[in-house]
Amino acid sequence: MAVAAATQTPGSKHNIEAMREAFYARIAKKDMAPLWKVMKNVVTKEPVTRTKPHVWPYADIKSLVMESGGLITAEEAERRVLILENPGMHGESRITNTMFAGVQMIMPGEVAPAHRHVSSAIRFILDGEGAYTAVEGEKAFMSPGDFVITANWAPHDHGNPSDKPMLWLDVLDFPAVNFYEASFAEHFDDATQETTRKDGDSLSFYGSGVLPDGTRTMNRSPVINYTYARTRPIIERMMQSGDIDKRHGARVRYANPVTGGPVLPTMGANLAMLPKGFKGEPYRSTDGAVFVCAEGRGTTDVDGEVLEWGKNDVFVVPPWKRYAHNASEQSVLFSISDRPAQEALGIWREGN
Ligand SMILES: [Fe+2]
């Protein structure tokens, strides 16, 4: 045996290298490999990411999504969505390693048919008025700034009875679900679901400081639509009272009102108001985040790269990259990340 021979007669440096390479070639045929050759790459000292910081200006998004409306119907497409592809991961349908983001449009009179899937989704509404998402028996009519959730395996469909196109940002956790190879999806015979609850029922029942008798604890929020009309005045009041975080501004976390936990087990979201002239202190955390500017104008410095944003622009900050927000006007930033999943696994960290 070559290895036995090596231990008996230690050779020159050249010989030992040759023997190692021969050994690696032999064990490769048995589907094995030496950890010591890859250790530094697989157990890194600090997070390594392929995610690049990037901005998608809304002017580009809107004109291209509108153009797609002339190419395919929502029903044909099932969902008419343009994927926001991270420039570091083209062709992989993701904006960070764990999240998908895209902008969906539904034209007047269109229906995006009912389906369900293991991946959880959130919508953040950008443009239009009067289209709805029907989920879990509730038909939620959406307005700009609303935050709508579609939990794991919840049937959902979208329709637009208004006379204007409606656009929203979709963020899903399917890159994470697919990492676990745990994806299921199914379609329904009927394009739209029967709804049994009125628009706003879930927010009224669960988001008002009281809970209906018999409310069960779930690992995700029972609220379907966290409306901008309800959330914006809260961050404005925080800002006016001086409750302004030096990194994040006057910020709230969208919460499951039954448990206080995140809205979904895999993704969590925030809404922040930055006063005019805000110069945020640097911050970093292991969750890469997708931001939408709901109001205002400013920049975010990500490791020396300046991302400029205005209303409805979408931008992404990679994991563990130091960033700081600056607001040239009073601004509102929505953000979403995989922080709840990382916290559940005990791997989330933050720093400055
Ligand atoms: Fe869906």
Ligand 1 midpoint to CA 187 (Å)? 10
Ligand 1 midpoint to CA 29 (Å)? 43
Residue 314 has pLDDT above 50, yes or no: yes
Confidence of residue 78 (pLDDT cuts 50, 70, 90): confident
Residue 5 has pLDDT above 50, yes or no: no
Percent of the chain with pLDDT over 90: 89
CA pair distance 152, 74, nearest whole angstrom: 22
Ligand 1 midpoint to CA 219 (Å)? 19
Whether residue 126 contacts residue 167, with contact meaning beta carbons closer than 8 Å, is answered with yes
Mean pLDDT of 139-155: 96
Residue 101 has pLDDT above 50, yes or no: yes
Ligand 1 midpoint to CA 149 (Å)? 11
Ligand 1 midpoint to CA 205 (Å)? 25
Ligand 1 midpoint to CA 253 (Å)? 24
Confidence of residue 10 (pLDDT cuts 50, 70, 90): low
Ligand 1 midpoint to CA 27 (Å)? 45
**Distance between terminal CA atoms of the chain?**
54
Confidence of residue 196 (pLDDT cuts 50, 70, 90): confident
Digit-coded pLDDT (tens) for 225-267: 999 999 999 999 999 999 999 999 999 999 999 999 999 999 9
Ligand 1 midpoint to CA 191 (Å)? 13
Residues 6+ apart with CB under 8 A from 181: none
Confidence of residue 223 (pLDDT cuts 50, 70, 90): very high
Residue 74 has pLDDT above 90, yes or no: no
Residue 136, pLDDT score: 86
109: Cα within 13 Å, side-chain hemisphere: 2
Ligand 1 midpoint to CA 105 (Å)? 13
Residue 262, pLDDT score: 97
Confidence of residue 11 (pLDDT cuts 50, 70, 90): low
Whether residue 329 contacts residue 299, with contact meaning beta carbons closer than 8 Å, is answered with no
Whether residue 166 contacts residue 129, with contact meaning beta carbons closer than 8 Å, is answered with yes
Percent of the chain with pLDDT over 70: 97
Ligand 1 midpoint to CA 60 (Å)? 24
Mean pLDDT of 100-105: 97
Digit-coded pLDDT (tens) for 14-27: 899 999 999 999 99
Mean pLDDT of 48-62: 98
Ligand 1 midpoint to CA 87 (Å)? 24
Ligand 1 midpoint to CA 268 (Å)? 18
Digit-coded pLDDT (tens) for 25-34: 999 999 999 9
Mean pLDDT of 49-54: 98
Ligand 1 midpoint to CA 250 (Å)? 32
Ligand 1 midpoint to CA 117 (Å)? 7
Residue 35, pLDDT score: 97
Q: What angle do CA 297, 303, 304 make, to 5 degrees?
A: 70
Ligand 1 midpoint to CA 209 (Å)? 30
Residue 2, pLDDT score: 46
Confidence of residue 191 (pLDDT cuts 50, 70, 90): confident
Ligand 1 midpoint to CA 323 (Å)? 32
Residue 9, pLDDT score: 55
229: Cα within 13 Å, side-chain hemisphere: 6
Ligand 1 midpoint to CA 154 (Å)? 9
